[in-house]
Amino acid sequence: MKEYYENRVAVVTGGASGIGLALCEMLLSLGAKAVVMADLNDEKLKIERARLETTYPGKVMGIKTDVAKQENVSDMIRQASEFGGGQIHFLFNNAGLGLVKAFDETTDTDWKFAFDVNFFGPLYGIRAVLPIMRAQGGGHIANTASGIGFVPMAFQSMYSATKAALIGLTGSLRYELWDENIRVSTIIPGTVATPIWDATGSVPESAITPEESARGILKGLAANERIVIITEDDRDGAINAFHPEAARGMDEYLLNVARKRRKGEVAI
């Protein structure tokens, strides 16, 4: 796996915490030439960049970025390319929001914000990085989706819809860009103990660590997997989501989740 990332330049959105931070640290440990951490949380970004810089001097850059704004993303990619000597080999569109809310409580503004961050953010990154990857002869784009994209859950209609759209975009581009030596993969990172659970007040017992997720992601990308699925739970969900023989069981499972969430319980 190391040879796939060694001496490469990577950009990670949402890079100051959770899976994104774990990816940055692991890429550096695998010998990446340069890693750009993009995040909206400027304070956290500065702290983590400084920490990594002590171990990997000259290899880490932090850029405050609002992925919901195209000009922010384009400028970040430009700066990242300059830092990487004109190259970007990997783009991890990892930034995203969990968006837990009953449908009846959502507004058009909520929905626009949801798509701006979870869907258009990655789209802006792809548009900005493609000219660079084409000029250098290839690259790899990894879009962090979620198992909820194929197993939608109650009270997460915005999250489900945005991640399903991202899965569709990523799958289509994989084959559109294949012959240009630009790989495109969907990431299903698993239920991970990250700040995305802050809104619920508790992390599920089944959650894996960001490091476990990052290790699986990098291994799957090195193998050029179409959809990198980290956990067995998500693998089972992917297999059964649209399987006719599993329809009744899926209904029972998802209805149980909905009823628990309606009572204010954490259920996945």
Burial code of 61-87, b = ≥16 C-beta within 10 A, e = fewer?
A: bbbbbbbbebebbeebbebbbebbeeb
Contacts within 8 Å (CB) and 24+ apart, 103-106: 103/155, 103/157, 106/157, 106/158
Q: Determine which one of 5, 56, 124, 159 is catalytic.
A: 159
- Contact of 144 with 93, CB cutoff 8 Å: yes
Active site residue 56: no
Long-range contacts of the stretch 166-175 (C-beta < 8 A, 24+): 166/118, 166/119, 166/122, 169/119, 169/122, 169/123, 169/143, 170/141, 170/143, 170/145, 171/226, 171/227, 173/126, 173/141, 174/226
Question: What residues are labeled active site?
Answer: 159
